[in-house]
Amino acid sequence: MKPTNRFLIGLTVGFMAIALWNAHAAEPKYDPEKLRSLVKLPKMTLDFGFAVNSTLGFTLGREPLDLNKLKPPAERIAELRKDMSGGVRDAERYAELGLLYVKLHDAAQAQATRKRAVELFREQVKDDPKKGWLRSELGNALLAADQMVEGENLLRDAVALSPEDWRCWEALGDFLESRAFATLGVTNVGVLYEEIQRGLRVPGSNTASSPDRRAKARAFWDEAAHCYDKAVAVGPGEIGAYQARIVFRGALKKLLDLLIEPERSADVATKQQFVSPEVRADLKEAARLTTDDAYAIGMAAFFEAMMNAPKGAADSSGSFKRGFWLFLPDSSRAYVREALSRLEQLGRNEDKNTAGAALTALGGMQLLVQGDPVAAEDNLRRATRLRPAADTAWEMFGLLLVQSERWSELAALGEEHVKSKDSVRYRIGLAKIYEKLGKPAEVEPQVQAALKLAPDDLLANTASAAMRLKRATDEAAVAEVGQMMNKVKQTVFKAAPKEQQVGFEFLHGLYYGLAGNRQEAASHFRRLREADPDESDYRDAYDALGL
């Protein structure tokens, strides 16, 4: 063999050996320490009163101006009980009690209070049988008490008796909207929305969506649309009529379209706008009508800016960190300026609730649209002082501090917040800030305080399990965490929000990995990766298992 050929063969064999060695060296290995490094307090999302999603468009979830609605259920229940007069006017109080007991998962009390609400509304209708709105109130109470047939009949009687009252049309539209979803097998629209938004459910899956049911659902939806249109027509000066139609025409409509035509889900998701021209028109009309509703003014201005910014403007401006004001056309900037001027004026209102809500909207626009964190910080700080029980200003202020990586100031803000409004959510949020600051001694008191507030809360239990798992260095300690998590899974897991369930399942997968049960851990992370392939923690956990 020629020396040259011998050299080439030797070189080739050498490269093959190196390649095989690299392949062997790169083969993933089980890495328990990497798994342990992924054990952290559960993730949380900020809530600004609205959400925008590529599949479902936008949804509004306004924070109530009435601070009573922001109180913890147990506290609000005590107030309502104390305010009872013993007369028929207690009907509204009993109806609210029913909702609060549902939040507390107290089925017996929910049933009892809703039954009493029905009895008192019946007396009101008997005393004034010609008032349609009272029939709507009774109809809604009956629906809440699962007396569906009589409830629907009363809602229909109400619009026939008082066709000029927009509230009757809105109540019937709300029922028909729910009926459309129920026809498709959806009993909790909020949960389904969250699952699709997070990629945990494919639109149209696990729903009773036969052609006949789809047709019936569409018929109910079209009738609901007629009711909302009638509400606006008979109450042209009523901001509530427009706001009800805005919610109906937004993410709810897109969600129903996806359920009725799941085979076109990708097409529907990409071709429909975040906010339709009809919804934008209603937003602007609601803002025009109001004199003191800062939320209506702020939302109209925000979506005017968002929908008129050139494609890619948000990315070009640093994903909202610097706003996208310079990218807006002159007409949109003029509209937003006028809205900001109205909000500034409302921010000087003598009523603290009105002023606080206005400063929250103003600060949010300055932060997200104008990219002016200095002005935003001033207004958001004032808003938290005027309405300390309201969450949106605190969360927007928190976003501002996160963007500027002012973690110590964020911790101080969190300490201030829990003093004004103590809750599991904000205790765990404060614990996460201390985790970010590398202060483990400050983390545990917040988690323990959260557990004390709500021993059956999944977020608090997940945070407690994460702390214990992080410290578990031997087999017995890891096993104890597993026993705790199994108990949580059998008790409080099912009733928790989907986002919290995902956080728990991620931690449960880490537990299985650290306990040496790699196959069960792999099963957990495989499901999580399929639901959210872009989540880096899921990929990292899967790699740490050596799979």
Cβ atoms 394, 376 nearer than 8 A: no
What is each CA distance from 285 to 40, 180, 232, 278, in whole angstroms? 46, 27, 11, 11
| Burial class, 66, CB count within 10 angstroms (exposed 0-12 / middle 13-18 / buried 19+) | exposed
For the chain, give the mean pLDDT: 84
What is each CA distance from 228 to 168, 173, 273, 282, in whole angstroms? 10, 6, 21, 12
| Burial class, 509, CB count within 10 angstroms (exposed 0-12 / middle 13-18 / buried 19+) | buried
Report d(CA 392, CA 394) in Å as an integer: 5
Structure token pair of residue 25: 């060296």
| Integer Rg of the chain from CA | 27
Query: Model's pTM, two decimal places?
Result: 0.78
Cβ atoms 395, 48 nearer than 8 A: yes
Write down the pLDDT at residue 2.
Answer: 44
Write the DSSP assignment of 121-176 as a string of letters.
HHHHHHH-TT-HHHHHHHHHHHHHTT-HHHHHHHHHHHHHH-TT-HHHHHHHHHHH
In the chain, count of helices (H) and strands (E)?
28, 2
Least confident of 4-13, 291-300, 401-410: 4-13
CATH class of the 458-547 domain in this structure: mainly alpha
Write down the pLDDT at residue 53.
Answer: 43
% of the chain exceeding 90 in pLDDT: 56
Report d(CA 466, CA 37) in Å as an integer: 11
Write down the pLDDT at residue 44.
Answer: 83
Least confident of 322-331, 450-459, 530-539: 530-539
Arithmetic mean of pLDDT, 5-17? 41
Q: Is the pLDDT of residue 27 over 90?
A: no
Report d(CA 154, CA 139) in Å as an integer: 5
Confidence of residue 59 (pLDDT cuts 50, 70, 90): very low
**Spatial CA neighbour of 438 closest among 407, 465, 412, 416:** 407
Where are the chain's structural domains? 70-162, 174-289, 291-405, 406-454, 458-547
The answer to whether domain 70-162 has CATH 1.25.40.10 is yes
